[in-house]
Amino acid sequence: DVKVTQSSRYLVKRTGEKVFLECVQDMDHENMFWYRQDPGLGLRLIYFSYDVKMKEKGDIPEGYSVSREKKERFSLILESASTNQTSMYLCASRSPQGTAYEQYFGPGTRLTVT
């Protein structure tokens, strides 16, 4: 069974802290994605990675960075957390092979920045 896990379900951080959100997938997928989900805005793509050490900005990359040193792990970094980064963060992975094109999602991390 496919599985995407995220390091924390709930996280509370202070303004200015450096925050790491971890995502691990066990499906040997090449592509991984980070989204944030806000009420009324749906899911917005922050960053994605085609493969190890490869990354590309999504629609809202400002204030975030990512790291992909191993195929199974994709980390989202908030260099200096701010209150407007309070949100639900969702990680997803996908194999570009075949015709499936669907993404598999983790359970999400609800981050509160105070």
Residue from 57, 58, 71, 72 that binds other proteins (CB under 8 A)? 58
Read off the tokens for 12. 């509370």
Site string for other proteins, 38-57 (x = CB under 8 A): --xxxxxx--x-x-------
Given a contact cutoff of 8 angstroms between Cβ atoms, the answer to whether 21 and 75 are in contact is yes
Q: Give me the amino acid identity at 10.
A: Y
Work out which of 21, 66, 106, 111 binds other proteins, going by CB under 8 A.
106
Distances (CA, A) of 75 to 40, 47, 54, 99: 26, 10, 12, 27
Using CB under 8 A as the criterion, which residues of the chain lie in contact with other proteins when the complex forms?
4, 30-31, 33, 35, 40-45, 48, 50, 58, 90, 92, 96, 99, 101-108
